[in-house]
Amino acid sequence: MVKEIKTIGVLTSGGDAPGMNACVRAIVRTGIAKGFRMIGVQRGYNGLINGECYEMNLRSVSNIIHRGGTVLYTARCLEFKTEEGQQKAVDRCKELGIDALVVIGGDGSFMGARALSNKGIPCVGIPGTIDNDIACSEYTIGYDTAMNTAVEMIDKLRDTTQSHDRCSVVEVMGHHAGYIALNVGIATGAMAVLLPERPFDFERDILVPMNKTQLSGKKHFIIIVSEGIVPAQELARKIQTRTGVDTRATVLGHVQRGGSPTLRDRVMASTMGYHAVDLLSIGIYNRVVAVTGGKVVDYDINVALGMHKTIDSSMIDVANTISI
C-alpha cells in the first residue's frame, strides 16, 4: 500500500560536505513546486528526536547555494542507534506531521533511514560525503570541492617545498577510502601516494621512488598520505632520518570540508535533490539516490547498503608511473 505523503522533512547527517546546502535548496523548492509542505530538521537525527524542526518556504533556501557546510546543521546521535531512539524519531515524525524524510549523508545516515523505513516512515537517502566512499554511487556531494581545496593548498605548499629542496608529507582526509588522496596525488604530481586500499611498505612506497627521483635530478618531493595509514609527522621524521632530506608534515584536516562548493557539486547536489523528491511524489521510497555512468539513478536502500566499492587500480598505476 502506498502511503499518502503531504509533508516531507529534510535533514543532513554525519560529516558536513560542500554542496549540502545546494541539495537542501533543491529538495525544498522541488517539494514546494510539487505541492508538498516542507520541514527542515536541524542537527540530523538528534534534532529529529528532539523536535528541532521548522517549516521551510522558497525564501528559506535563498542565497545558500554557494555556501559550504549545512544551514540545517548536523550532529552525531548515539541515541538514534538504539531501538528506543529510533521509536522516538518515529513518534516525533507523527507528532510533527512529517510523512516522509530525505536524508543527506553517508552509509551511517542511510542505516538510520532504513531503520525509519522499516518502522513506517518513507525515506530517500542522498550521498553527501567528501570521501566519495558510498558504494552504490560513483559520486558523492562534496567530493569535487574537497579535492579542489586540497589541490589549491598543495600547489601553494609546493612553492616553499621547492624553494628549500624539502620533502613535504601532506595528510588528506579519507580514513577508509583513498579517492581524495589518489586523485589529488595525480593532480599535484606527488612522488608517492599512500592509500588505505594498499598495504603500506616504507621501502617500496617511499625510499625506492625517492631514490629514483633523486637520480633524475629532482630535489624536492611531495608525498600524499590518506589519514589513518601513518601519522604525517611520524612519517616525516622517519623520512628525514633515513634520507637526510629536510622533511615537513602538513595535515590539511577539516579545511577540506569547508568552502564554497564547485560547479560540479552544486549541479550534482541540485539534480540529486530534485530526483529524491520526484521519487516521493510518485510513491517510490526507501531508496538511495546515486550516480551510475554519469547519470542520476536510485537503488533500493537494502541493495545500496549491501554494495561494495573498490578503487580503480589503473589510476594507481597512473600515479606510480607519471609522478616520479
- Residues with active-site annotation: 131
Element (H, E) at 247: strand 247-251
Instruction: Give Cβ neighbours of residue 303 (< 8 Å, ≥ 6 apart).
Output: 136
Short-list 146, 166, 187, CA closest to 17 = 146
Own/partner pairs for 231-235, CB < 8 Å, 24+ apart? 231/171, 232/169, 232/170, 232/171, 235/169, 235/206
How many CB atoms neighbour CB 44 within 10 A? Answer: 26
215 DSSP 8-state letter:
H
Q: Is 8 helix (H, G, I), strand (E, B) or coil?
A: strand
Q: Tell me, what amino acid is at 166?
A: R
Q: DSSP string of 70-137? A: -TT-----SGGGSHHHHHHHHHHHHHHT--EEEEEE-HHHHHHHHHHHHTT--EEEEEB-TT---TT-
